């Protein structure tokens, strides 16, 4: 694996790979790698000749109350994990390399943002869209890999790729789960033993919703009610939201058909957890 810190060097190296008709899979991250990221790399390795991973904590996507400096970082450990996962190029630019001067263009994401977690993070997805646009232009990958765990980000990136005509195939990779269904997350370590057991209910409540839909329920309000009941009955977490949207447009679903997203966010004492299911309903 080669660690690259400048745009120019990465573009030069990838030009050579592309001349040899190699396909490029891209896994963008903010580092502090976990199994979710490694699952993205695994998919990327299976489907491409070359895998590029970026590690860049993007200041543009942090709000004024979110601490950019406190975001966890461990480059040495990340380098080892990326190398073990068979990443070919690890792109680790500095903030100055990515944003050498104040931007003269502002990207503003107009759709798919004012719902779910985006509701409380104004401007967040503008920052995500800006950095991804830059990374897509620098790397020009054939495929880009994102986790389905952050379904809203996946929907926004889908919009970005469509709207700006990036010739990139977006691949949404299934959420990696513990044996009891809890979605893997670096935040799970903040759960107490009791909360950890309760946290498995998030996925169970989503599976109950899926079962009810398979059995014929088509009213979003009924499904939301069922999921909330399950969470309130079996956990002490504070339910932040249970929402259902068409996917990937994230528009309200009057009745359940086509691709739909059921998304939940709950707050335990020291950990806020999210989970979701994307279902195709005939």
257 has binding-site annotation: no
| Rounded Cα gap, residues 247 and 2, in angstroms | 37
185 has binding-site annotation: yes
> Between residues 28 and 172, which has the closer beta carbon with respect to ligand PAF?
28
We find the least distance from the C-beta atom of residue 32 to ligand PAF, in angstroms, to be 9
> Between residues 30 and 239, which has the closer beta carbon with respect to ligand PAF?
30
SS3 content of the chain, % helix, strand, coil (to 5): 40, 20, 35
What element of type H or E holds 39?
helix 35-47
We find the least distance from the C-beta atom of residue 153 to ligand PAF, in angstroms, to be 6
37 carries an active-site annotation? yes
245 has binding-site annotation: no
> Between residues 151 and 209, which has the closer beta carbon with respect to ligand PAF?
151
- CB-count exposure of residue 233 (10 Å: 0-12, 13-18, 19+): exposed
User: Residue 5, Cα to own-chain centre: how many angstroms?
Assistant: 23
Both tokens assigned to 181:
């269904």
Instruction: Point out the catalytic residue in the list 37, 43, 234, 257.
Output: 37
We find the least distance from the C-beta atom of residue 132 to ligand PAF, in angstroms, to be 6
Cα distances (Å, whole numbers) of residue 265 to 17, 80, 96, 248: 42, 32, 35, 18
127 has binding-site annotation: no
Binding site for ligand PAF (CB under 6 A): 28-30, 58, 61, 128, 131-132, 150, 153
Return binding residues for (R)-pantoate.
Answer: 61, 153
Active site residues: 37
Return binding residues for ATP.
Answer: 30-37, 147-150, 176, 184-187
């Amino acid at each position: 694996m080669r660690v690259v810190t400048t745009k120019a060097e990465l573009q030069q190296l990838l030009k050579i790979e592309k001349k040899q008709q190699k396909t490029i899979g891209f896994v963008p991250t903010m580092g502090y790698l976990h199994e979710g990221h490694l699952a993205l790399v695994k998919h990327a390795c299976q489907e491409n000749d070359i895998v590029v991973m970026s590690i860049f904590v993007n200041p543009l996507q942090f709000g004024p109350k979110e601490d950019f400096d406190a975001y966890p970082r461990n480059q040495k450990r990340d380098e080892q994990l990326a190398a073990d996962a068979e990443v070919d190029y690890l792109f680790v630019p500095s903030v100055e390399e990515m944003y050498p001067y104040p931007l003269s263009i502002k990207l503003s994401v107009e759709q798919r943002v004012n719902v779910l977690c985006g509701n409380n993070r104004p401007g967040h997805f503008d920052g995500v869209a800006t950095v991804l646009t830059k990374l897509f232009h620098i790397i020009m990958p054939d495929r880009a890999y994102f986790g389905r765990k952050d379904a809203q980000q996946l929907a926004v990136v889908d919009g970005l790729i469509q709207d700006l005509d990036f010739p990139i195939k977006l691949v949404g990779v299934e959420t990696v789960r513990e044996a009891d269904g809890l979605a893997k997350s670096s935040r799970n370590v903040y759960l107490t033993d009791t909360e950890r057991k309760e946290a498995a209910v998030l996925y169970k409540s989503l599976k109950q919703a899926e079962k009810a839909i398979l059995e014929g329920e088509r009213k979003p309000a009924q499904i939301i009610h069922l999921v909330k009941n399950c969470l309130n009955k079996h956990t002490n977490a504070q339910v932040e939201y249970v929402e259902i949207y068409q996917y990937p447009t994230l528009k309200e679903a009057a009745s359940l058909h086509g691709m739909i997203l059921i998304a939940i966010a709950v707050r335990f004492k020291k950990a806020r957890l999210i989970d979701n299911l994307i279902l195709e309903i005939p």
